[in-house]
């Protein structure tokens, strides 16, 4: 099993984000970053598939500034075999741009599976995997929350709103990984030591022009401060009255 996993460096979400003076970027200094949640589950999926197959290789690829090497090392310390850093100072929010750069690297890699996260929690587009699949001419299954691979074919479960789908597909394929498939392993001390010696190729990358342009960032509208209307079952009539007269939802 030869598996590629595309991982993105994103800000950790339980911290305050501020808009820079230019109004179009976030203030990055002082922020903590990590691998996108879904991408960690994709790495874990790749490791488990390789372990199950008994042989193979898990290659992690990240596009971005030099700082992404920190995230590649994390994936290597979880057990991935080698890393590729596609070097670009900044990646625009147009998924076509990242997809093109990633597809150029993946093409010719003879991967059985190429794994993505369902969505990057920073730009929140969830489009990169499907575009890469198209560029490589591979079948694509998105938002996989259960996966079985047997004899060159795969079967996946996808969760819809209030429903589930089972999807079958041939390998090689591109999959985007949803929550529910697994929880990522923590890097062991041994893994962290080993990761330092694993190969990490750095490749300068030229990006195509972005067709999605940031006009402005703004803070979301403040919700009016929360209001506690009462305690226990005694507060229920007042709640129902407010839902009928004020919120008009009942």
Partner 1 sequence: MPNLLAFVETRAGAIRKAGLEAVTAARGCVDAAGGGEVHALLVGAPGIAARAESLGEHGADVVIVVEHAGFERYNPEATAALAAERIGSGGYPLGVFSSTAQGRDLAPRVAAALDAAIVTDATTLTIEQDAVVVTHPIDTGKLIAIWAIRGTPAIVAMRPGAVLLAPQPRTARIERAQPVSDPASARVVTTELTVGDSATMDLGDAPVIVSGGRGLKSAENFRLVEDLAAAFGNAAVGATRAVTDDGWRPHSDQIGQTGRLVSPDLYVAVGISGAIQHLAGMRTSKTIVAINKDREAPIFKVADYGIVGDVFEVMPALIAAVRAARAAST
Ligand X SMILES: Nc1ncnc2c1ncn2[C@@H]1O[C@H](COP(=O)(O)O)[C@@H](O)[C@H]1O
Q: Which residues ranging from 62 to 101 are in contact with ligand X (CB under 6 A)?
A: 62-64, 91, 95, 98
d(Cα 189, Cα 70) in Å, to the nearest integer?
16
- The string of DSSP codes covering 167-182 is EEEESSEEEEEPTTS-
d(Cα 154, Cα 168) in Å, to the nearest integer?
6
Question: What is the token pair recorded at 196?
Answer: 């330092």
For ligand X, the binding residues in 3-22 under the rule CB under 6 A are 6-8
Q: What is the per-residue binding string for partner 1 in 36-65, x denoting contact by CB under 8 A? A: -xx---------------------------
Q: Which one among 120, 140, 141, 143 touches ligand X, defined by CB under 6 A?
A: 120
Ramachandran angles phi, psi of 155, nearest 5°:
-135, 130
Radius of gyration of the chain measured on its C-alpha atoms: 21
Which of the ranges 79-87, 106-114, 156-164, 184-192 carries the binding residues for partner 1, by CB under 8 A? Answer: 156-164
d(Cα 37, Cα 202) in Å, to the nearest integer?
23
Smallest distance, ligand X to C-beta of residue 47, A? 15
Q: What is the per-residue binding string for partner 1 in 105-134, x denoting contact by CB under 8 A? A: --------------x-xxxxxxx-xxx-xx
Smallest distance, ligand X to C-beta of residue 6, A? 3
């Amino acid at each position: 099993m030869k598996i590629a996993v595309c991982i993105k460096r994103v800000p950790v979400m339980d911290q305050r984000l501020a808009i820079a003076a230019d109004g179009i970027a976030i203030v990055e200094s002082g922020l903590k970053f990590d691998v996108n949640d879904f991408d960690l589950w994709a790495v874990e999926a790749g490791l488990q598939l390789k372990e199950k197959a008994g042989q193979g290789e898990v290659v992690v690829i990240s596009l971005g500034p030099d700082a992404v090497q920190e995230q590649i090392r994390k994936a290597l310390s979880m057990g991935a075999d080698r890393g590729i850093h596609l070097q670009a100072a900044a990646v625009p929010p147009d998924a076509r741009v990242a997809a093109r750069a990633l597809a150029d690297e993946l093409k010719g890699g003879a991967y059985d599976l190429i794994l993505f996260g369902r969505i990057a929690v920073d730009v929140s587009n969830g489009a990169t995997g499907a575009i890469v699949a198209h560029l490589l001419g591979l079948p694509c299954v998105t938002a996989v929350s259960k996966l079985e691979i047997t004899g060159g074919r795969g079967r996946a479960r996808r969760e819809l709103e209030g429903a589930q789908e089972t999807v079958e597909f041939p390998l090689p394929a591109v999959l985007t990984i949803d929550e529910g498939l697994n929880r990522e392993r923590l890097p062991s001390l041994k893994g962290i030591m080993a990761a330092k010696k694993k190969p990490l190729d750095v490749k300068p990358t030229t990006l195509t022009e972005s067709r999605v342009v940031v006009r402005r960032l703004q803070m979301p509208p403040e919700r009016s401060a929360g209001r506690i209307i009462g305690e226990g079952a005694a507060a229920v009539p007042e709640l129902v009255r407010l839902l009928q007269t004020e919120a008009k939802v009942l």
